[in-house]
A = this chain, B = another copy of it.
Amino acid sequence: MCEPLPKERTIELRKKHIGPSCKVFFAKDPIKIVQAKGQYMFDERGERYLDCINNVAHVGHSHPEVTKAAVKQMELLNTNSRFLHDNLVQYAERLTSTLPEKLSVCYFVNSGSEANDLALRLARQCTGHEDVITLDSAYHGHVTSLIDISPYKFLQLGKEAKKDYVHVAPSPDIYRGKYREDHPDPGAAYAKEVYDIIMEVQQKNRKIAAFIAESMQSCGGQIIPPPGYFQKVAEYVHEAGGVFIADEVQVGFGRVGSHFWSFQLQGEDFVPDIVTMGKPIGNGHPMSCVVTTKEIAEAFGASGLEYFNTFGGNPVSCAIGMAVMDIIEKEGLRGNAVRVGNYLVELLNELKEKHELIGDIRGAGLFVGVDLVKDRQLRTPATAEAQHIIYKLKERRILLSADGPHRNVLKFKPPMCFTKEDAKTVVDAIDEFLTVLEAAAGNKSKMVTQGSKGIKRQENGESCSDISVEGEKTWSDQPKENVNNRQGSVCRQGRGFSSEKHSTKRIRT
């Protein structure tokens, strides 16, 4: 490429040539990253950032074995899958070997969005049905068909943006949802909600093609479905003639440590009909995959319509994918995810003893969420506090994000080479910021209350930005009484909060 640009010039050119809908982290003072290694990123001044959020750089940023595999294959051949190639079939064999036996047929595509779109096409073709059940707060991708089934997105356009063929079930969130940890069987209760939707849909003479859910909801707030939920849902969906799509785009490839795929946390008696993959699959290389059963693949083929994806399954992508699998195994990254993930949760639990702001800690392996609350009993989301912590961490050169429908869940999904020391570093920093926040909160609770109404939310990330929430938008009829609406306000309170003005715009990570 050309000579390095001064940061201001980079920003100027970005404003000129990149669509304004494409947001940067920390819009007020964005970070220019020029290099990365393992779990660390470096800015143009050589400052090191600890990366706690990048689940794409799965085996670590700039892993030399990934580069080596790419170069070796690029020097030889990169072409489409209309020619036979060993990489394609050997990689497909390797990938399916991690899955239950019936999931044996692959379609290689270029992104999680392409994967989920194809999953819908497979579901519709094999069932002959159209309707889709999705979860509240779900995000499944950026193409038209997926915006339609992503309440995380379409609800920002207003309730009328929901298409008739889309049905939104409550997120199986046992901390904040309709059925909680004190329910005798929240899995069955949440599944019953899906059942009720199916009944309602069928009464309208509509038919369910698919139920789609992330195996653990990521943007939805690091939600781990309660035991038995997927089994029951699959039973109801199958009875209705539909299929179960497990979206592993964010959470697959051993992130949970104990298993290679997050849906496997539900037990061996649950097998989805379609699994979609993405982000970590190529450690940043644009690739992804849909895996399904022979029966569904054959039904899809029966339409006579060919499926061709120009780049999907090319030998370079497959070589990279294979290298990622090798590294996960050779470096024992699943074991690391268990060890470091457990240690992180342990440290966070200690923090919970000290800080009333921590309402819930949930996680599996290196997928961990910390649900911040203003009040442990009402579980009022502490949105501004979460955003404040993210900003303070950035100043400390630690990259973390907050997500979920209330933007109050601190979200850990670091590269899988994350260490115990890294975990300690970030938890210590959070400890410090929570202490300051809580001390300040005592002094100014009145001010905060006064400031909670009548403040216009920032939508464009400009003045009080970079992060401003588009507002509380939940679909299903969860109890709302314990959810207040103070996002975007607290950052104006001066004391106890980051000196950098910011609000709470939805930035997905």
> CB-defined interface of A156-173 with B at 8 Å, one 1/0 digit per residue?
110000000000000000
A10 lies within 8 A of B81 (CB): no
**A322 contact set on B, CB distance < 8 A:** 1
A300 lies within 8 A of B74 (CB): no
A308 lies within 8 A of B23 (CB): yes
> CB-defined interface of A286-320 with B at 8 Å, one 1/0 digit per residue?
11000010000110110111111111111011110
CA distance A153 to B77 in the complex (A): 29
Distance from A163 Cβ to chain B, minimum over Cβ atoms (Å): 12
| 10 chain-A/chain-B pairs, Cβ below 8 angstroms | A1-B318, A18-B107, A19-B292, A36-B78, A109-B111, A110-B286, A144-B144, A147-B305, A156-B303, A285-B286
A78 lies within 8 A of B285 (CB): yes
**A153 contact set on B, CB distance < 8 A:** 305
> Is A264 located at the chain interface by the 8 A CB criterion?
no
A287 lies within 8 A of B286 (CB): yes
Q: Name the contact of A143 in the complex, choosing from B1, B74, B78, B114 (C-beta under 8 A).
A: B114
**A78 contact set on B, CB distance < 8 A:** 36, 57, 61-62, 283-285
CA distance A319 to B70 in the complex (A): 15
B31 lies within 8 A of A310 (CB): no
Distance from A130 Cβ to chain B, minimum over Cβ atoms (Å): 11
> CB-defined interface of A103-115 with B at 8 Å, one 1/0 digit per residue?
0111101111110
**A76 contact set on B, CB distance < 8 A:** 34-36, 62
> Is A485 located at the chain interface by the 8 A CB criterion?
no
A5 lies within 8 A of B110 (CB): no
Q: Name the contact of A508 in the complex, choosing from B81, B306, B317 (C-beta under 8 A).
A: B306
A143 lies within 8 A of B157 (CB): no
> Is A96 located at the chain interface by the 8 A CB criterion?
yes
B287 lies within 8 A of A86 (CB): no
CA distance A316 to B82 in the complex (A): 26
CA distance A59 to B188 in the complex (A): 57
A319 lies within 8 A of B107 (CB): no
**A90 contact set on B, CB distance < 8 A:** 1-2, 5, 13
Answer whether A89 and B13 are a contact pair too, CB < 8 Å, given A33-B77, A142-B308, A306-B508: yes
> CB-defined interface of A74-110 with B at 8 Å, one 1/0 digit per residue?
1111111111111111111100100000001111011
